[in-house]
Structure 1
């Protein structure tokens, strides 16, 4: 017989991480009771962009509000509310907002995912705080 239980992460326990480009609010991750997945919200203001970077795992982004430009390898496309983007592992990507509006998305990926900036050695990859 298997035993099941639920972990509840209260809204007051959500972890906020601010970067120069966005605020990530972690709803669940391995350090918050999850066994293998992380889920967080990204809030990015107008006229901002993240660095060109590579994750070692697939990520799934669902846009809740606003719009963003997604640069993925040699392709760039725009996403809007209700769009879901599946970003493959090992492919360079950058997310940017327009000058007039930001965006909000909910993202999920395996906990412990590692990232490195394009141009940095893969050996310098690290687990961002919002995924840990």
Structure 2
């Protein structure tokens, strides 16, 4: 059993959100990465695609998720399973949100605007 202490959580700030890694291979071995995402009211994440499925559980607040052109409204207590390789953008509601997200460790994300830059975000390493 691996135990990842609160003091070992990694915090990554982007212009749109704060991701706190709760479990990942770099923190003691895991096939799954788990992180907390916090967005301020009205903030928008970049339009991108993930190479693996992600599971988002909203702990507080509201958000709109544009998934392949379909808009989904999510609120505290809702869980969304976002499939791999479908463009998405998450926009925080007026009061922002906090969600816990899980995805396969090492998953790549990429820009849907024509660039083929595939990266592994810091919070899933």
Query: Equivalent of 2:59, from 52, 58, 64?
Result: 64
SS at match of 2:124: coil
Between Structure 1 and Structure 2, how many residues are aligned?
125
C-alpha distance in structure 1 between counterparts of 2:30 and 2:100, whole Å: 19
Radius of gyration: which is bigger? 1
Query: Equivalent of 1:115, from 109, 112, 115?
Result: 109
RMSD between superposed Cα atoms in Å: 0.9
TM-score normalised by length of structure 1: 0.92
Q: Deviations over 1:41-82 (max 9, x none)?
A: 000001100010000000000000000000000200110011
Query: Equivalent of 1:127, from 95, 120, 123?
Result: 120
Query: Could you say which structure has the higher strand fraction?
Result: 2
Equivalent residue, structure 1, for 2:28: 33
> What 5-or-longer segments of structure 1 have no aligned partner?
1-5
C-alpha distance in structure 1 between counterparts of 2:95 and 2:26, whole Å: 33
Moved over 6 A (4+): none
SS at match of 1:130: helix
C-alpha distance in structure 1 between counterparts of 2:32 and 2:72, whole Å: 27
Equivalent residue, structure 2, for 1:95: 90
